[in-house]
Amino acid sequence: MSISEVFGGIPVDRSTLRALPNKAIGVATVGMTMRFGAFTALDTVSITVRAGTFHALLGENGAGKSTLVKCMMGFYTPTSGQMMVEDREVEIADPRAAHELGLGMVYQHFTLVPSLTAAENLVISRARVSPVIDWTREKSGLLTFMATMPFSVPLDVPVARLAAGEKQKLELLKQLYLGRRFLILDEPTSVLTPSEADELLGMVRGLTQAGELTCLMITHKFREVTRFADEVSVLRRGQHVGGGRVGDLTTNEMAAMMIGEKELAQSADRVSGTGADILSVAGVRAMDRSGLKPIAIDALTVRSGEIVGVAGVSGNGQMELMEILTGQRPTPAGEIRVKDRPFRASRRQCRDNNVRYLPEEPLRNACAPKMSVAENIAFRTFDTIEGSGRERFWLDGSETRRRGAELVAAFKVKTAALDAPIASLSGGNVQRAVLARELSGDVDLLVAANPCFGLDFSAVAEIRARIMAARNAGAAVLLISEDLDEILELSDRILVMSEGCIAFETPIASADIAEIGRHMAGHA
């Protein structure tokens, strides 16, 4: 029986296998290309991660970082290109093949079983465990293993009771326990507090310097790159656009590589003239979705006739800001005012002040998927009499259908029928239907989150034009978006959110993209 048969047809030779256990290994990609249909997610990316280095992979959302590491780990089969492990060409057909070569990955979110202890999690993670586990032997084996590690976690406590930092350490220990010598860390600190993050990355750096581990870390945060990484590679739109030794690069240079040459594409029909303050937020405090990190919005004002863009890397508190403004997230401190009156996002207040919301992922957050297109369009107005604004008790079905038909035509929603469930529409048409609901009538304040996420080119252009039209008609618009191009195209003023706070503000006229990028990356 040949060795490749033993390892499921993976051509590996004995010397590679023998090299695995004890020291860091070097990995490289050569001309890695990945196409999904007509879309090229990765375009001939070649990066080299030398043995025993801590290598950072930087890039905006959608730059291709995840695609690259998924190709390296065998989750995807690249369209073309080659993986090299210890300077040998290898084929990685699936994640198991990657594991056999000593490659491992730590994900953004935990993959531990919360009800089991650390020891149990480590033992069951092995590919081959005997059906009857000899716990005495396993425990002593684990203790011996732990003694060789520079850090430890309590072995006998259920993982659910460990702090997030300890869980992430355990994820790291698990990889080392499984004999992995090349680790990909996918935003490992996004669920950690800053001090936990520093401790974890410090440990990884220690292991790489000791030559026990090679590490490739996906990150958005320049601070982590400059403090812990040896080398950096930057991806933009699927291409490797630069990199080198961290010591040789300034954060400005890295930000410029990450964001690239962006032109400020202004919509032609921008009407100038900003009016009174519509939305003002002062001293608001809340907790983020994980309940660990605080959200603090000290001052935020949006005036009539302007679009304020909130830029930021995903997960820095933008979605929580949206939830605070829609009244979905408790705010123990601070005040939100609309038109200079306290605002708690009740239906009546929204109606009286013409406040409208476009949450991200409209089918998930703004529609009832099984209800009809006409009913979904009626969500905002079904309980008031058109014109007088008085509340009504009886539904008016013919009014719902008439309004639905009008708005479907006016907003060019493509649907088989008015009574078709809205879930049967394409993403662009769901968003058109939601826009038809929220942008009909007078709009004084519009709060939108990632309104064009996942939509095709024509829908994007149309939806941005609608938002701009609302601004030109005098609406105050708060545009929360992870797409920096969108922010730059639409905004009159740009704010940057980082770590739950508004870190930076600039008018569009004097916007310096490198500076925006630095603040997005949490490096002022």
Partner 1 sequence: MSTETTGLVLAAPSRAWVETVARRSEGVALPLGALLIGFLAFSVFLAVLGKSPVAFFGYVYQAGFGTEFSWSNTLSRAAPLLLAALCVALPARLGLVVIGGEGAIVLGGVAAGALAMSLPGLPGPIGILMMGLGAMIAGGAWIGAIGAMRYYRGVNETISSLLMAYIAIALMNHLVEGPFRDPASLNKPSTAPLPDAYRIGELPFIDVHWGLAAGILACVLCWVLIERTTWGFAARIVGGNVRAAEVQGLPTGVLMVGFTALGGACAGLAGMFEVAAIHGSANASLAAGYGYTAILIAFLARHNALAVIPVAVLFAGLEASSGLIQRRMELPDATIAVLEGLVFVAILLSETLTGRMRLFQPELWRRTS
Q: Which residues bind partner 1 (CB under 8 A)?
A: 326-328, 345-350, 357, 359, 364-371, 375, 378-380, 382-383, 391-395, 397, 416-417, 419-421
Contact 71, 34 (CB under 8 A): yes
**Strands 27-36 and 476-480: what pairing?**
unpaired
User: Which of 239-249 are b and which e, b meaning 16 or more Cβ less than 10 Å from the residue's Cβ?
Assistant: bbbbbeebeeb
Which residues lie closer than 8 Å to 393 by C-beta, 6 or more apart?
A: none
Q: How many CB atoms lie under 10 A from the CB of residue 353?
A: 16
Measured from the CB atom, the residue of 132 and 416 that comes closer to partner 1 is 416
Question: Which residues on neighbouring strands pair with residue 106, listed in sequence order?
Answer: 185
Measured from the CB atom, the residue of 235 and 430 that comes closer to partner 1 is 430
Measured from the CB atom, the residue of 403 and 523 that comes closer to partner 1 is 403
CB of 392 to partner 1, least distance (A): 6
Angle value at C-alpha 84, between 79 and 87, nearest 5 degrees? 155
Measured from the CB atom, the residue of 276 and 417 that comes closer to partner 1 is 417
- DSSP string covering 147-204: HTSSS---SSSBGGGS-HHHHHHHHHHHHHHTT--EEEEESTTTTS-HHHHHHHHHHH
Contact 287, 294 (CB under 8 A): yes
CB of 54 to partner 1, least distance (A): 40
**Strands 333-338 and 277-287: what pairing?**
antiparallel
Measured from the CB atom, the residue of 212 and 383 that comes closer to partner 1 is 383
CB of 373 to partner 1, least distance (A): 12
Measured from the CB atom, the residue of 197 and 366 that comes closer to partner 1 is 366
As given in the structure block, the two tokens for residue 482 are 């992870």
Measured from the CB atom, the residue of 239 and 384 that comes closer to partner 1 is 384
CB of 336 to partner 1, least distance (A): 14
CB of 362 to partner 1, least distance (A): 9
CB of 371 to partner 1, least distance (A): 5
Sign, CA torsion 216/222/228/229: positive
CB of 301 to partner 1, least distance (A): 22
